[in-house]
Amino acid sequence: RKQLFKLSTGSKALDKLLGGGVEAMSITEVFGEFRCGKTQLSHTLCVTAQMPGPNGYIGGKVIFIDTEHTFRPNRLKSIAERYNLNENAVLDNILYARAYNSEHQSELLNIVGCKLHEEAGVFKLLIIDSIMALFRVDYSGRGEIFDRQHKLGQMMSRLQKISEEYNIAVFITNQIASDFKSPELATRPIGGNILAHASTTRIALTKGEGAIRTAKLLDSPDLEEAEVHFLITSGGIDD
Ligand code: ATP
Ligand code: MG
């Protein structure tokens, strides 16, 4: 039987909200406006995934698919420092790929699939930051939404399969709608029903004062809808 592990976000409050952390064999999505901490959370997970955790979790390698060119090795160094880890070892354990368009993003998942097959059990976390950015650009026309959602659906079902077959956590970031006049609609994640249904756990992030951020859990299959506060620090996500 596969061991179902959970990865720490760096914040005890956020881990508790998630019932322990970001779960293996499922897709966790965070969404929210710019600077709310999606990329910082992704970076923190790159480090915590490499550390031993509860239930005999021994840590493992990470795959990072970067669509917005916001991956920062220097950030990883200061997060590694917080946890007293060797910064070069931490960087060596991250397989990094930059995606240039949505088709490339999809092709990268083929390579990821091969890699996970070749090095069974080595990788524990796959991050895509962000899932929709390239789709949004590639399918920007009015008549293209159907095609976009079709391709998105294919990608999400592949991610789900990958997470289950190789027992890894899939962590994706997402943006919110910015083309609506109503403030209510402007807090909605993009990607429509396809993404909503594909993500096992959805977390809405909002900005507070200074480094304070709020995380709200949405449509989790087995956890209460609640919200917590966390901080963005030089050592990554913290309480
Ligand atoms: P976007 O939608 O633009 O991609 P995001 O949700 O990914 O935004 P992040 O880049 O994760 O946002 O978060 C940016 C925030 O993190 C900023 O408020 C910034 O001040 C903070 N931040 C970045 N680096 C550090 C650091 N070294 N120490 C403390 N805070 C930092
Ligand atoms: Mg970002």
This model of the complex carries an ipTM of 0.99
Q: Report whether 19 contacts 13 (CB < 8 A).
A: no
**Atom 3 of ligand 1, nearest CA residue:** 34
Task: Using the mean position of ligand 2's atoms as its centre, give its distance from the Cα of residue 118 in Å.
Answer: 30
Q: Report whether 76 contacts 46 (CB < 8 A).
A: yes
pTM of the model: 0.97
Instruction: Compute CA 142 distance to the chain's CA centroid, rounded to the nearest angstrom.
Output: 28
Q: How many CA atoms lie within 13 A of 114 on its CB side?
A: 4
**Atom 1 of ligand 1, nearest CA residue:** 34
**Atom 17 of ligand 1, nearest CA residue:** 35
Task: Please give the pLDDT value at position 222.
Answer: 82
Does residue 55 surpass a pLDDT of 90? no
User: Facing residues of 169 across strands?
Assistant: 125
From the CA of 35, give the closest atom in ligand 1. Answer: 12
Is the CB–ligand 1 distance for residue 233 below 6 Å?
Answer: yes
**Tokens of residue 206, six digits:** 């909002």
Ramachandran bin of 179, using left for φ above 0, alpha for ψ from -120 to 50, beta for the remaining angles: alpha
Q: For the residues 140-167, what does the mean pLDDT come to? A: 96
Please indicate whether residue 179 or residue 151 has the higher confidence score (pLDDT): 151
Task: Using the mean position of ligand 1's atoms as its centre, give its distance from the Cα of residue 9 in Å.
Answer: 15
> At 230, is the secondary structure helix, strand, or coil?
strand
Which of 9, 35, 82, 130 maximizes ligand 1 atoms within 8 Å of its Cβ, making it the mutation to test the pocket?
35
pLDDT tens, position by position, 84-116: 999 999 999 999 999 999 999 999 999 999 999
Does residue 2 surpass a pLDDT of 80? no
Amino acid at 75: R
Is the CB–ligand 1 distance for residue 39 below 6 Å?
Answer: yes
Task: Please give the pLDDT value at position 70.
Answer: 97
Task: Using the mean position of ligand 1's atoms as its centre, give its distance from the Cα of residue 37 in Å.
Answer: 5
Q: For the residues 202-228, what does the mean pLDDT come to? A: 92
Task: Please give the pLDDT value at position 223.
Answer: 83
Q: For the residues 114-125, what does the mean pLDDT come to? A: 96
88 Cβ contact list (under 8 Å, min separation 6):
none
Pairwise CA distance, residues 97 & 20, whole Å: 28
From the CA of 43, give the closest atom in ligand 1. Answer: 11
Does residue 82 surpass a pLDDT of 70? yes
From the CA of 175, give the closest atom in ligand 1. Answer: 2
Backbone phi, then psi, for 137, in 5-degree steps? -75, -45
Does residue 183 surpass a pLDDT of 70? no
Asked if residue 130 has a cis previous peptide bond (ω within 30° of 0), the answer is: yes
The CA-CA-CA angle for residues 227, 230, 232, to 5°, reads 145
Pairwise CA distance, residues 73 & 112, whole Å: 21
Confidence of residue 180 (pLDDT cuts 50, 70, 90): low
Burial class of residue 106 (count of CB atoms within 10 Å of its CB; 0-12, 13-18, 19+): middle
Pairwise CA distance, residues 28 & 195, whole Å: 11
Q: For the residues 59-83, what does the mean pLDDT come to? A: 98
Q: For the residues 145-169, what does the mean pLDDT come to? A: 97
From the CA of 205, give the closest atom in ligand 1. Answer: 6
Does residue 151 surpass a pLDDT of 80? yes
Pairwise CA distance, residues 205 & 143, whole Å: 30
Helical H segments across 139-230, by residue range: 145-165, 192-198
Nearest of 14, 13, 17, 18 to residue 5 by alpha carbon: 18
Please report where in the chains the tokens 């109503």 appear, as a residue.
Answer: 182
